[in-house]
Structure 1
Amino acid sequence: MTEPEPKRDPEDRTETDLMDPDEPPSCSSLTTNQLQQNLRAVKKRERPVRLLFEIPTTRIIKDVLTEYVVYEVVVMRSGSFDSRRSSVERRYSDFSRFHHKLLKEFNEELEDVVLPRKLLSGNFCPELISERRLGLQYYLAKLYAVRCVRHSPRFPEFFTEPEQKRAHGLLRGGQFQLAVDQLQTVLEIQEKLLPWQNPTLIVPTLSALSVCYRDLEEPEQAFAAAQKALPPTRRYGLKRYRASLLDLLVDLGYQLGRPVAQLQEELTVLRDAERGEVSSCSLKELVVHEFI
């Protein structure tokens, strides 16, 4: 019996795996110079995919009762195919809470990963802020190097949960365009994390975007977001999202003049097969109860 091919870790994947380049011409028809260029292109495509973290800037926030430093955290994925720089802002206290959550699950694995110490004085000294900025950047790189951490749901939570909660609060308040702006940042970061995270990570975000776009009377964008969310719900059995997404897609499809017969049939079969187990509420009803 032939042994199954071992499963590769996502960070062993190359740009060749993640992209679908055109088939190169036959070697026999290439000149020496073309062969050399082709070889360089192949080597470039075969660079392993990595997450890169940068904390390029800081700013001091002054409220009535408090004053604190926030750090801009930029998340990038290595490779020429991903040139987007998505960023969020976090305080030192956010890093500290994140670190303690990880220690509860991965104490032994994080033995060599040290969070920069809390400053008891001089918190707003430019030299100390710069030192801590570099220390936190190095800390994120060390965390990513720990396999169990980069595959943990805790990892994407640190980079997206505050923005998700803010976006859903705006959505519940009817501020759909502001919610879209937050959700787009969340989605960009989640997509960078997908080689190491379950593809269902993006389903709540895409669902929320679809709801926002629909209420903004942008049915094309709403349909596109829902359509993108549907495949992972099918593959991983997210019954409540799948039924609600299908229902929305059928409704939007009729509005846009799209063929919806197969979507309608899929929804009918799903509800008949899972009677009593599939949510009958709308996608908007599902979304507004997330991140409360």
Structure 2
Amino acid sequence: MAEPGRGSDDPNDSDPTAGGMPSCSSLTTRELQQNWKQAKQRERPVRLLFEIPSSRVVEQPLDKHVVFQIVVIRSGSFDSRRVSVERRYSDFLRLHHKLLQEFDEELEDVSLPRKILTRNFNPEKISQRRLALQDYLAKLFSTRCVRHSALFSEFFTEQEQKQAHVLLRAGQFKAALELLLTVLEIQEKLLPWQNSTLTVPTLSAVAVCYRDLDEPEQAFSTAQRALPPVRRYGLKHYRAALLELLVDLGYQLGRPVAQLQDELTALRNGERGEVSFQSLKEVVIHKFI
């Protein structure tokens, strides 16, 4: 399978009418526009861009440091959303040390900008560091083993995930949901280069938040999005919990749930006690304890 961002050997990829698609005369204007967009999207290399457009100085009673805003952009697609997180230099340093432990030889030509020992908060120095860190992220992403590594995705999401789960355990579902949706946006941008199960814990946590915020429609649709990769990769503890949530919400919403109920029953009967009876909320909460 071709790696994202590389061209396909399939000649049909450049022809929007190939592969048995309807002729142009039988398509509406809207359908033609959608087909044109799909064809253009196949032709454009999809990659991630990382911008660090700004920084700010944070002063606390016993600490003063700079945080950098990192904007993640997925180019070459019709995903125009820009999503951002903030990280300190120490976060970059931890990432670099972890990557060196796993990919030492592959990172011979990638170096992290050195720590500033004097005039740390000088605006000119901060601006230079901001651009250097932006270049550093671009070089990391250009290294194949890094962009496919879980360490790379965790750098952009782990802090927010942990904060969200603290809020979730405290019952602050609205605040938790806001953080989780940011995490989900970033993970979806990373998916072409990451395992497709990446979003499962986040989608599950989002479904829990929506359910506890009494938004059953949103909870149901979110849980539905999580189920296919869970089925495909055999994540049994998530599968049973998601099915149970979908069955409960389905009855509440008046949706047909007989097939989901049969799947849940067969799963639990077939695994002879190996399948957890934890609720999805319990599964989510235990993920980050």
User: In 2, distance between residues paired with 1:108 and 1:231?
Assistant: 37
1:49 aligns with 2:46: yes
User: In 1, distance between residues paired with 2:126 and 2:240?
Assistant: 49
Q: Which of the numbers 116, 127, 152 marks the counterpart of 1:155?
A: 152
User: In 2, distance between residues paired with 1:41 and 1:254?
Assistant: 37
TM-score, scaled to structure 2? 0.89
User: In 2, distance between residues paired with 1:21 and 1:269?
Assistant: 43
Maintained 8 Å contact 2:5/2:44: no
Shift of residue 11, structure 1, vs aligned partner: 2.8
Q: Secondary structure at the match of 1:12?
A: coil
1:208 aligns with 2:205: yes
Unaligned runs of 5+ in 2: 26-34
Q: Which of the numbers 183, 194, 204 marks the counterpart of 2:191?
A: 194
Quick one: which amino acid aligns to residue 6 of structure 2? D
For the aligned residue pairs, the C-alpha RMSD in angstroms reads 2.2
User: In 2, distance between residues paired with 1:85 and 1:187?
Assistant: 13
1:10 aligns with 2:7: no
User: In 2, distance between residues paired with 1:206 and 1:41?
Assistant: 26
Q: Secondary structure at the match of 1:57?
A: strand
Residue matched to 2:172: 175
User: In 1, distance between residues paired with 2:150 and 2:103?
Assistant: 13
TM-score, scaled to structure 1? 0.89
Unaligned runs of 5+ in 1: 1-6, 28-37
1:76 aligns with 2:73: yes
Q: Secondary structure at the match of 2:5?
A: helix
Quick one: which amino acid aligns to residue 141 of structure 1? A
Residue matched to 1:281: 278
Q: Secondary structure at the match of 1:73?
A: strand
- Give per-residue Cα distances to partners, 1:232-276, cap 9 Å, x unaligned: 000000000000000000000000000000000110111111122
Maintained 8 Å contact 1:160/1:189: yes
Quick one: which amino acid aligns to residue 221 of structure 1? Q
Identity %: 69
Distance 1:275 1:21, change over 3 A: farther
Quick one: which amino acid aligns to residue 283 of structure 2? L
Distance 1:128 1:39, change over 3 A: same
Shift of residue 21, structure 1, vs aligned partner: 9.4
Shift of residue 79, structure 1, vs aligned partner: 2.3
- Give per-residue Cα distances to partners, 1:183-223, cap 9 Å, x unaligned: 00000000000001111110000100111111111111111
Residue matched to 2:234: 237
Structure 1 stretches of 4+ with a deviation exceeding 4 A read 20-27, 38-45
Q: Secondary structure at the match of 1:258?
A: coil
Maintained 8 Å contact 2:46/2:77: no
Equivalent residues, number: 273
1:247 aligns with 2:244: yes
Maintained 8 Å contact 1:13/1:49: no
User: In 2, distance between residues paired with 1:41 and 1:229?
Assistant: 24
User: In 2, distance between residues paired with 1:24 and 1:81?
Assistant: 23
User: In 2, distance between residues paired with 1:44 and 1:171?
Assistant: 38
Q: Secondary structure at the match of 2:287?
A: coil
Residue matched to 1:97: 94
User: In 2, distance between residues paired with 1:98 and 1:177?
Assistant: 30
